[in-house]
Amino acid sequence: MWFEILPSFGIIVVALAVPHASAYVINKLVVGNMYRRGMYKYQDRLQYLRDRRLTGNPYKVQGLEAIPDK
């Protein structure tokens, strides 16, 4: 019958979802937060480095108030 495919379907869905869900846990253990920043483009990498230089934390995005006055 049609319901005989449900266990196989469930195994495949879980096997495909485990790497995606474990990425958050691994990032929490390694980086300290549960999200990532995509750095596929050069501009994104520059913004990552700018935020890390200004605030010390690349995941804490701030505006012009983070730039010190000279």
Q: What is the 3-state secondary structure (H, E, C) of 3-64?
A: HHHHHHHHHHHHHHHHHHHHHHHHHHHHCCCCCCCCCCCHHHHHHHHHHHHHHCCCCCCCCH
Question: In angstroms, rounded to a whole number, what is the distance separating the alpha carbons of residues 10 and 25?
Answer: 22
pLDDT in tens, 3-15: 899 999 999 999 9
Structural domain includes residue 69: no
Residue 52 corresponds to which amino acid? R
pLDDT in tens, 17-45: 998 888 888 888 887 777 777 778 899 88
pTM to 2 decimals?
0.47
How confident is the model at residue 9, as a pLDDT? 95
pLDDT at 48 over 90: no
Residue 42: give the domain boundaries.
8-62
Q: What is the domain count for the chain?
A: 1
Structural domain includes residue 15: yes
